[in-house]
Amino acid sequence: MKETLFDINRLVRPNVARLKPYSSARDEFEDFEAEMVFIDANENPFESDVNRYPDPQQRKLKEVLAARRGVPADNILLGNGSDEVLDLLFRAFCEPAQDNVLTLPPTYGMYKVLAEINNVENREVLLSQEYQPRVKDILEAADRNTKILFLCSPNNPTGNSFSAESVTALLEGFGGLVVIDEAYIDFSAQESCLHRLEEYPNLVVTQTLSKAYGLAGIRLGICFASPGVIAVLNRIKPPYNVNALTQRRALIRLDDPDSIDKEVSDVKREKGLLFNALLEVKFVSQVFPSDANFILARVDDANLRYRQLLDKGIVVRNRTTQPLCENCLRFTVGTPEENSRLMEELRGMV
Ligand SMILES: *Cc1c(COP(=O)(O)O)cnc(C)c1O
């Protein structure tokens, strides 16, 4: 394990460290697949496929995810989307009106919203012109109350990944938790940071089934971290935060890795075609290379082009108000038919 400034006992909120967690019926008698009479949880006894509470620790699902990602199940916590996982991190580690977090705009908007909801100061250090973290400025912006640094890589909305050197420098130079949001990692040529978990106890990696796995509707987010961090989050998570239908549906999907892999490679191929086609559009001045399933492109007038596309029945994301994203639109890679339709409309626009 690397010598780091990290000390989990200094980071966790005192009330969280002190509290006695809620113990559910399914925590107290865990073997709920056994042939027993279960009259401990005030459930309706008449069997349907959802009359029982779900496994609060989602053990089967964690086992499958652990095997797929090559990480022990003890390093995993699951949430109702990554958004819940991120919120748990705030609630476990950031004292309202006292602590702060660091975010690097332009990036995913939820970090800032969660900071506001939790009454935690959000310190912003803009990415460089190349959309890379400015390591020195970030470390200078941190103080003793800076509990979490959010790195989104591949980054939304810019699509690029952060350089391995800057991520390492931040993991080693920052004394709080470094959360690497890998929502788009399956589309990336860059390697996931999961293999660094053992080396860096301050590293938290979040992933999701919402993008590459095609399950945005079931809400399943994954947090990978050292067992100490996972234990803290387990103290405060709602007991049944991942419902039974979600657990089942995720298992069905994970049982068919070939179809996931095929969809991801189809999206990557289509992204290449879309990238080249966007370069040819006359009012597109810049197309940013992407490690994700979307492409950011700079146009002459984002508001105008956004409205024109809407009139044609195509909804894209206008990112023009984001710093360093002036006149930029974000295009999610669609089906081949949707992408052709988009290109046809863009080519026809004056
Ligand atoms: C889409 C996205 C997520 C996914 O959030 P879920 O709550 O798991 O659906 C997380 N982080 C980033 C950066 C995203 O773009």
C-beta of residue 112 within 8 angstroms of C-beta of residue 90: no
The token pair at 249 is 């549906």
Mean pLDDT on 173-197:
97
Half-sphere exposure of 49 (CA within 13 A, CB side): 7
C-alpha distances (whole Å) from 175 to each of 75, 99, 201 are 20, 13, 11
Which atom from ligand 1 is nearest to the alpha carbon of 108? Answer: 13
Please choose from 211, 241, 290, 330 the residue to mutate so as to test ligand 1's pocket, defined by most ligand atoms within 8 A of CB: 211
- Give 284-289 contacts, CB < 8 A, sequence gap 24+: 284/346, 288/131, 288/158, 288/159, 288/160, 289/159, 289/160
pLDDT of amino acid 3: 55
Amino acid making up residue 345 = E
Could you tell me the pTM of the whole model? 0.96
pLDDT of amino acid 6: 84
Range in 33-37, 87-91, 221-225, 324-328 with the lowest mean pLDDT: 33-37
Backbone angles phi, psi at 225, to 5 degrees: -160, 175
Which atom from ligand 1 is nearest to the alpha carbon of 208? Answer: 8
Q: Which protein residue has the closest C-alpha to ligand 1 atom 15? A: 156
pLDDT band at 2 (very low <50, low <70, confident <90, very high): low
Where in the sequence of the chain do the CATH 3.40.640.10 domains occur? 8-255
Whole-number Å distance between alpha carbons of 152 and 195: 17
Whole-number Å distance between alpha carbons of 33 and 31: 6
Tell me which residue of 243, 103, 251, 240 sits closest to 181, measured CA to CA: 103
Q: What is the pLDDT of residues 250-286, one digit of tens each?
A: 999 999 999 999 999 999 999 999 999 999 999 999 9
**How many angstroms is it from 294 CA to the middle of ligand 1?**
13
Q: What is the pLDDT of residues 80-120, one digit of tens each?
A: 999 999 999 999 999 999 999 999 999 999 999 999 999 99
Whole-number Å distance between alpha carbons of 284 and 327: 10
pLDDT of amino acid 103: 98
Alpha carbon of residue 184 to chain centroid: 8
Q: What is the pLDDT of residues 280-313, one digit of tens each?
A: 999 999 999 999 999 999 999 999 999 999 999 9
**How many angstroms is it from 30 CA to the middle of ligand 1?**
31
**How many angstroms is it from 183 CA to the middle of ligand 1?**
6
Ligand 1 pocket residue status of 83, Cβ below 6 Å: yes
Mean pLDDT on 53-70:
97
The token pair at 52 is 């029982």
Ligand 1 pocket residue status of 81, Cβ below 6 Å: yes
Mean pLDDT on 23-52:
90
Please choose from 65, 78, 82 the residue to mutate so as to test ligand 1's pocket, defined by most ligand atoms within 8 A of CB: 82
pLDDT of amino acid 25: 87
Whole-number Å distance between alpha carbons of 333 and 349: 20
The token pair at 256 is 């068919």
pLDDT of amino acid 350: 87
Ligand 1 pocket residue status of 152, Cβ below 6 Å: yes
Name the CATH superfamily housing domain 258-347: Aspartate Aminotransferase, domain 1 (3.90.1150.10)
Ligand 1 pocket residue status of 208, Cβ below 6 Å: yes
Whole-number Å distance between alpha carbons of 137 and 104: 11
pLDDT of 334 strictly over 60:
yes
CATH class, range 8-255:
alpha beta
The token pair at 319 is 């990112």
Q: Percentage of the chain with pLDDT > 70?
A: 99
Amino acid making up residue 149 = L
Ligand 1 pocket residue status of 56, Cβ below 6 Å: no
Counting every residue, how long is the chain? Answer: 350
pLDDT of amino acid 136: 98
Where in the sequence of the chain do the CATH 3.90.1150.10 domains occur? 258-347
Ligand 1 pocket residue status of 78, Cβ below 6 Å: no
Whole-number Å distance between alpha carbons of 66 and 259: 19
> How does DSSP assign 83-119, residue by residue?
HHHHHHHHHHH--TTT-EEEE-SSS-THHHHHHHHTT
pLDDT of 5 strictly over 80:
no
pLDDT band at 208 (very low <50, low <70, confident <90, very high): very high
Q: Residue 148: enclosing H or E segment and its boundaries? A: strand 146-152
C-beta of residue 206 within 8 angstroms of C-beta of residue 180: yes
pLDDT of amino acid 4: 61
pLDDT band at 32 (very low <50, low <70, confident <90, very high): confident
Q: How many C-beta neighbours within 10 Å does residue 120 have?
A: 22
**How many angstroms is it from 208 CA to the middle of ligand 1?**
7
